[in-house]
């Protein structure tokens, strides 16, 4: 028989309301006892007695055995989660920043206090990738994990490429639909995708990497010139996080826009949809596809975790405990397309090689190979120039032979 869960919910925004909608339609032996919100004066659709602005009304209630944390503040989310785990309450969270930045501590707290933290909703919305990495791929030799992890940026790129919208208009649409925040840098700057990648890599490879060590380059400098270049070569531009096993001791993690060919699964992933591509030694390549943004898709992933807690499920972190020798390697060379404005920029970047350089009135770009560490150290310089970078290992047409001979394929 499943355990009855009495829930204390932190946050009643898009995901919190989506979760409540889903729970209300089912008989799951689950009760939401109290909801803590930031603004008690804001009108609510549920009865007033259900809400509180005092965290202790949940954390100190002995009848509440499960905490669901769905707030934006990563520091506050960590305090809530750590407090709950220490006091014998299981936690479900969708806060990818909090989890990515504190994963080592959170695993230690679970082991010490015999509690469970689940966070499927923190990575790619409705796609059940964490539990699959934990269970289905627990004995697999994973070559790489990549995909579209951020529905907001994918929505923006889709609207620009398919409907001819300007960047600002596409961003506003994403914000109006609740896909992007008022301050969109978390999404368009690749930070959201980076946090999700760090979490996924921990379950795929057992490597706990700090987010600040991982390169993230976003789409905020994307321009019509880049769109024209991609279309000219029958490519699409997608923001793609990648975790890649380099050898028995090293992995590479990075978030970059990518020039994607029609042969790639990701080519047809549009709008707010997410996709995770897993390449493995035995299972070969598999694609997980689903909505990555919105209250109901993410709420469904949160509910899946809540339901799993009824049967006392917990992550085992098998690869971390059994094979944690893999380390991050930022000296890995990746093939890139860099469209730039200032001629001086390219001279300040230490390329391992430059395969082609083009200059015209309309467009200046370089195709070459460069270390991840070099992009990290020169990231501010690149962004200040207004340059746009994309991984270019899949270039076709006249660059196909060049790619085969000189570039490492993605």
* Structural contact between residues 90 and 309, judged by C-beta atoms closer than 8 angstroms: yes
Which residue from 239, 233, 159, 156 is spatially nearest to 194, judged by alpha carbons? 239
* Structural contact between residues 127 and 292, judged by C-beta atoms closer than 8 angstroms: yes
* Structural contact between residues 252 and 197, judged by C-beta atoms closer than 8 angstroms: no
Find the largest Cα–Cα distance for the chain: 71
DSSP string, 108-138: HHHHHHT--EE-GGGSSTT--HHHIIIIITT
Length of the chain counted residue by residue: 410
* Structural contact between residues 319 and 205, judged by C-beta atoms closer than 8 angstroms: yes
Q: How far is the CA of 285 from the CAs of 211, 276, 279, 392, in angstroms?
A: 26, 10, 4, 20
Give Cα 351 distance to the centre of its chain: 28
The 3-class secondary structure across 217-273, one letter per residue, is CCCCCCCHHHHHHHHHCCEEEEEEEEEEECCCCEEEEEEEEEEEECCCHHHHCCCCE
DSSP 8-state code for residue 71: -
Angle, alpha carbons 182-184-187 (nearest 5°): 135
Told to judge if 196 belongs to the known catalytic residues of this protein, a careful annotator would answer yes
Q: Which of 196, 238, 245, 291 is catalytic?
A: 196
Catalytic sites, residue numbers: 196
């Amino acid at each position: 028989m499943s355990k009855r869960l009495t829930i204390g919910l932190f946050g009643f925004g898009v995901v919190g309301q989506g979760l409540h909608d889903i729970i209300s339609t089912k008989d799951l032996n689950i009760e939401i006892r109290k909801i803590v919100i930031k603004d008690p004066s804001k009108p609510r659709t549920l009865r007033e007695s259900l809400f509180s602005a005092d965290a202790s009304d949940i954390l100190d209630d002995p009848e509440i055995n499960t905490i669901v944390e769905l707030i934006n503040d990563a520091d506050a989310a960590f305090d809530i989660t750590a407090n709950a785990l220490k006091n014998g309450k299981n936690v479900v969270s969708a806060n990818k920043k909090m989890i990515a930045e504190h994963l080592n501590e959170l695993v230690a707290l679970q082991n010490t206090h015999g509690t469970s933290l689940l966070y499927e909703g923190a990575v790619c919305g409705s796609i059940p990738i964490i539990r699959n990495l934990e269970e289905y791929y627990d004995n697999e030799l994973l070559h790489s994990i990549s995909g579209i992890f951020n529905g907001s940026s994918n929505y923006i790129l889709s609207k620009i490429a398919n409907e001819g919208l300007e960047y600002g208009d596409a961003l506003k649409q994403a914000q109006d639909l609740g896909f992007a925040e008022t301050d969109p840098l978390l999404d368009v700057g690749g930070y959201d995708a980076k946090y999700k990648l760090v979490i996924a890599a921990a379950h795929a490879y057992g490597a706990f990497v700090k987010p600040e060590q991982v390169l993230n380059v976003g789409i905020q400098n994307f321009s019509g010139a880049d769109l024209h270049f991609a279309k000219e070569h029958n490519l699409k531009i997608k923001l793609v996080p990648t975790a890649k096993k380099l050898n028995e001791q090293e992995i590479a993690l990075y978030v970059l826009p990518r020039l994607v060919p029609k042969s790639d699964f990701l080519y047809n992933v549009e709008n707010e949809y997410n996709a995770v591509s897993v390449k493995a030694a035995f299972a070969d390549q598999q694609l997980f596809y689903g909505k990555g943004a919105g209250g109901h898709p993410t709420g469904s992933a949160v509910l899946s975790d809540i339901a799993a807690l009824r049967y006392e499920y917990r992550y085992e972190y098998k690869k971390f405990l059994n094979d944690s020798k893999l380390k991050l390697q930022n000296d890995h060379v990746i093939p890139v397309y860099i469209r730039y404005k200032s001629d001086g920029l390219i001279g300040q970047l230490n390329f391992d090689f430059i395969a082609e350089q083009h200059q015209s009135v309309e467009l200046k770009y370089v195709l070459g190979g460069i270390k991840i560490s070099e992009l990290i150290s020169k990231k501010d310089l690149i962004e200040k120039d207004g340059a746009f970078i994309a991984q270019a290992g899949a270039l076709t047409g006249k660059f196909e032979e060049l790619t085969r001979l000189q570039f490492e394929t993605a």
